[in-house]
């Protein structure tokens, strides 16, 4: 049959003519995933070395940098790509990441599995990548026993990953990593609250901060699924990119810890007029800790009251994850490893680095505001971004950009301080 040949990273893929499988817009997603999983593999390899040397101090360990991609590594990463289409992503992982034991490239579609098989052969990675023809649900649920679990599960569906989260949290080993793509931004950004609620159990808010809100709703949903099995979530890198979101989250075990994450979940009150947002976290102990130490934010007003700034009605959104979206040591190491990689390793090298530099400086305070929109609501002049930022700094608060929206502002200043500053500028 007629086909098209595509080269991406180190993979050469044949696409069946007319198939809608290949999405060039997702090259960035795959580049970022290769870079992140390289780091996950490095950390896994170093932990394995420590474990082996603890049992037998005589054993020598090959440094990660000296391992070759494409060579099977005993006790290396076991990866499941549950929705694989052409196998492209799995083949890139196999050819670009050292330290891999096995990758399952799975798809429900028979035609897709044919193309996975062909591409695995033609890229000569049959030692690492195993084609699998199954419903992703079956694949995940049949790998729940500890001896069958994966170190990494990658979910890259069309639209929502919602229905796969329950299976995914169960088949990930302790300290494993779940990678999630969601492209259903219309419902996550509030165009269809009913559909968002049914997928994630959370109510979206149609606001300028909706992209970060989307990440935080997905993390809430994941936290809920994980907590049922006494597991906790530790976000490594959660980003909003173009028309989708991509999350890399470590899954750990422990019931007391799972309960303590309650303080990281909150209902959000959002003013229907001035767009101010307030948080009402679920866990009281953690709320006190937060107010004292980690970061300050506006605490939610009791239900039934109106916005403290403009007196308008409040609407309820969420629940959302209030905790961090990034692990800073992971992000720093990721930047270092992309900088050190040969320049032609990633088509989107520069864009990845520039986004990650922003991520590295991002404040942990949830959500952000858009000064143009706020100025319109307040009937003030639109202040220059850098003028507004230095005014907030001068008032004694912290301020940063967000990777999720150009020109938006993240700060730990309370809304009334921002309002005063906007009026004074």
**How many residues sit in the footprint of ligand SAM (CB under 6 A)?**
19
What is the SS3 assignment for 218? helix
Residue 101 binds ligand SAM (CB under 6 A): no
Q: In the chain, helix, strand, coil percent, each to 5?
A: 45, 25, 35
Which residue shows structure tokens 């307040």? 378
Among 38, 42, 89, 95, binds ligand SAM (CB under 6 A): 89
Give the one residue of 15, 39, 80, 83 binding ligand SAM; rule: CB under 6 A. Answer: 83
User: Could you say which residues in the range 23-82 bind ligand SAM, by CB under 6 A?
Assistant: 26, 30
| Binding segment (CB under 6 A) for ligand SAM, from list 43-51, 151-159, 264-272, 295-303 | 151-159
Please tell me the distance from the alpha carbon of residue 312 to that of residue 309, in angstroms, as a whole number.
Answer: 8
Does the protein bind ligand SAM through residue 166 (CB under 6 A)?
no
Name the phi and psi angles at 11, rounded to 5: -100, 145
Does residue 84 belong to the site contacting ligand SAM (CB under 6 A)? Answer: yes
Q: Which is nearer to ligand SAM, 30 or 223 (CB)?
A: 30
Residue 357 in the binding site for ligand SAM (CB under 6 A):
no
**Nearest distance in Å: CB 35, ligand SAM:** 15
135: contact with ligand SAM by CB under 6 A: yes
- 101, 76 in Cβ contact below 8 A? yes
| Residues sharing a CB contact under 8 Å with residue 231, sequence separation 6 or more, in sequence order | 169, 251, 252, 253, 254, 258
Q: Can you give 341-401 as a three-state secondary structure string? A: CCHHHCCCHHHHHHHHHHHHHCCCCCCCEEHHHHHHHHCCCCCCHHHHHHHHHHCCCCEEE
Residue among 25 and 387 whose Cβ is closer to ligand SAM = 25
Q: Which stretch binds ligand SAM (CB under 6 A): 102-110, 326-334, 355-363, 367-375?
A: 102-110
Among the listed residues 417, 418, 416, 395, the one whose alpha carbon sits nearest the alpha carbon of residue 408: 418
| Binding status of residue 156 toward ligand SAM by CB under 6 A | yes
Nearer of residues 181 and 371 to ligand SAM, judged by Cβ: 181
Please give the full DSSP string across 153-172, using - where no structure is assigned: EEE--SS--GGGHHHHHHSE
Give the one residue of 51, 126, 158, 288 binding ligand SAM; rule: CB under 6 A: 158
Dig out the tokens for 151 from the structure: 């170190």
**Cα 261 from Cα 233, distance rounded (Å):** 9
Q: Does 88 bind ligand SAM (CB under 6 A)?
A: yes
Among 70, 157, 193, 364, binds ligand SAM (CB under 6 A): 157
4 binds ligand SAM (CB under 6 A): no
119 sits near ligand SAM (criterion: CB under 6 A): no
Which of 136, 140, 215, 404 touches ligand SAM (CB under 6 A)?
A: 136
Chain centre distance of CA 391:
32
Beta bridge partners of 321: 265
Binding site for ligand SAM (CB under 6 A): 21, 26, 30, 83-86, 88-89, 106-109, 112, 135-136, 156-158
């Amino acid at each position: 049959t007629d086909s098209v040949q595509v080269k991406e990273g180190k993979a050469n893929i044949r696409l069946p003519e007319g198939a809608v499988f290949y999405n060039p817009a997702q090259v960035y997603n795959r580049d970022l995933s290769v870079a992140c999983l390289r780091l996950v593999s490095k950390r896994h390899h170093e932990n394995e070395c420590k474990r082996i040397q603890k049992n037998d101090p005589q054993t020598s360990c090959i440094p990660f940098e000296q391992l070759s991609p494409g060579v099977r590594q005993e006790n290396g990463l076991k990866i499941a790509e549950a929705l694989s289409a052409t196998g492209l992503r799995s083949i890139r992982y196999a050819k670009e990441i050292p330290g891999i034991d096995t990758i399952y490239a799975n798809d429900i579609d028979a035609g897709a599995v044919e193309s996975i098989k062909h591409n695995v052969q033609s890229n000569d990675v049959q030692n690492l990548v195993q084609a699998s023809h199954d419903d992703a649900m079956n694949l995940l649920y049949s790998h729940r026993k500890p001896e069958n679990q994966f170190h990494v599960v990658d979910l890259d569906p069309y639209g929502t990953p919602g229905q796969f989260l329950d299976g995914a949290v169960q088949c990930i080993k302790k300290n494993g990593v779940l990678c999630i793509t969601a492209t259903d931004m219309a419902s996550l950004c509030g165009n269809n609250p009913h559909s968002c609620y049914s997928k994630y159990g959370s109510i979206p808010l149609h606001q300028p901060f909706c992209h970060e809100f989307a990440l935080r709703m997905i993390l809430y949903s994941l936290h809920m699924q994980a907590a049922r099995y006494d597991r906790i979530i530790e976000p490594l890198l959660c980003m909003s990119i173009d028309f989708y979101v991509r999350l890399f989250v470590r899954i750990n075990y422990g019931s007391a810890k799972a309960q303590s994450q309650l303080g990281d979940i909150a209902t959000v009150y959002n003013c229907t007029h001035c767009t101010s947002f307030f948080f009402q976290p679920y866990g009281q102990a953690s709320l006190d800790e937060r107010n004292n130490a980690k970061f300050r934010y506006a605490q939610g007003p009791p239900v039934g009251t109106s916005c403290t700034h403009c007196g308008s009605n409040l609407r309820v959104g969420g629940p959302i994850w209030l905790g961090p979206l990034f692990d800073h040591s992971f992000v720093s190491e990721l930047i270092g490893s992309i900088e050190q990689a040969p320049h032609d390793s990633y088509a989107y090298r520069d864009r990845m680095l520039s986004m990650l530099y922003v991520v590295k400086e991002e404040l942990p305070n949830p959500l952000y505001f858009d000064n143009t929109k706020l100025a319109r609501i307040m009937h003030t002049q639109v202040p220059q971004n850098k003028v507004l930022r230095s005014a907030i700094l001068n008032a004694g608060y912290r301020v940063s950009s967000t990777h999720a929206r150009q020109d938006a502002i993240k700060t730990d200043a309370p809304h009334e301080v921002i309002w005063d500053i906007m009026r004074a500028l």
